[in-house]
Amino acid sequence: MTKYLIGNWKANLDLAEVDAFVAEWQKVAPNLGEEKKMALAVPAIFYTYLYKKSPGFSVALQDISIFGECGTHTGEVTVENLRGIEPEFAVIGHSERRAQFGETNEVIWHKAQNLIRIGCKPIICVDLDQIKEMAHLLEKTPTDQYIIAYEPLDAIGSGNNLSGELLRENMAFLSQIFAPGVAILYGGSVKPENVNEYSGVVDGLLVGGASLKPESWAAIVEKF
């Protein structure tokens, strides 16, 4: 079974800090082996730069336009802009986008379909109150073409990570709602100190703050 380790840099780091991360990463990067897939979702401004640099990790996006074609969409990045530099993964529907940009499940579903069309796996973020509607929208989408990231709002960026025990209970509920075979990740204050709680409970992790430092990110990727 594939294990997904996805970091989300959010709107952090400048170019010098990105370069410093990559230089340090070369020194601390763990061996992923056969089963682990690791990617960092970076601010769009650094995406092509890192993609061309081959930094030793798969470079992912944090969002994509709802518009499926190039054209008159000032400020947007569409899937057609990604021709030739398609990412393997893109995070969509993060709670910050839902709260700060009013994104609904329906908007997020459209973005997912755009990404799937270019062969990119959307990592669709949801909290418990969004899962039924999202699962319904995804009913006709093949389960190997997308990934769900369960991110309890209170656990994000707060230090209040969900215990492994509670996550196990909630996963039983989630896997009843989503179609069998969908990979489900957990996100919310994952750190090297608590990562062991989640191995064997979920298919992977979505990590914010702790993915910004090569050492902590390497420890998480190694331990999971």
Q: Which residues in the 136-175 window bind ligand PGA by CB under 6 A?
A: 151, 156-157
Q: Which residues in the 3-42 window bind ligand PGA by CB under 6 A?
A: 8
108 contributes a contact to ligand PGA by CB under 6 A = no
Q: Choose one: 27-35, 60-68, 115-123, 203-211; the region binding ligand PGA (CB under 6 A).
A: 203-211
**Measured from the CB of residue 161, what is the shortest distance to ligand PGA in angstroms?**
8
Which of 76, 151, 165, 222 is catalytic? The answer is 151
Q: Which residues in the 173-192 window bind ligand PGA by CB under 6 A?
A: 187-190
123 contributes a contact to ligand PGA by CB under 6 A = no
In the annotation, is 151 catalytic?
A: yes
Alpha-carbon span 36 to 98, nearest angstrom: 29
Q: Count Cβ neighbours within 10 Å for each residue of 147-166 and write b for 16 or more, e otherwise.
A: bbbbbbeebbeeeebbebee
Structure tokens at 129: 């109150």
By C-alpha distance, which of 224, 208, 216 is closest to 10? 208
Specify the amino acid at residue 154: D
- Nearer to ligand PGA (CB atom), residue 46 or residue 217: 217
Partners of 4 in the β-ladder: 37, 204
204 contributes a contact to ligand PGA by CB under 6 A = no
65 contributes a contact to ligand PGA by CB under 6 A = no
First to last CA, the chain: 13
**Measured from the CB of residue 191, what is the shortest distance to ligand PGA in angstroms?**
8
Biggest CA pair distance of the chain: 48
With a CB cutoff of 8 Å and minimum separation 6, the contacts of 34 are: none
Which of 69, 94, 133, 139 is catalytic? The answer is 94
- Nearer to ligand PGA (CB atom), residue 66 or residue 190: 190
93 contributes a contact to ligand PGA by CB under 6 A = no
**Measured from the CB of residue 21, what is the shortest distance to ligand PGA in angstroms?**
16
Specify the amino acid at residue 216: S
Alpha-carbon span 220 to 172, nearest angstrom: 24
Residue with tokens 């090297």: 192
**Binding residues vs ligand PGA (CB under 6 A):** 8, 151, 156-157, 187-190, 206-210
Residues assigned a catalytic role: 94, 151
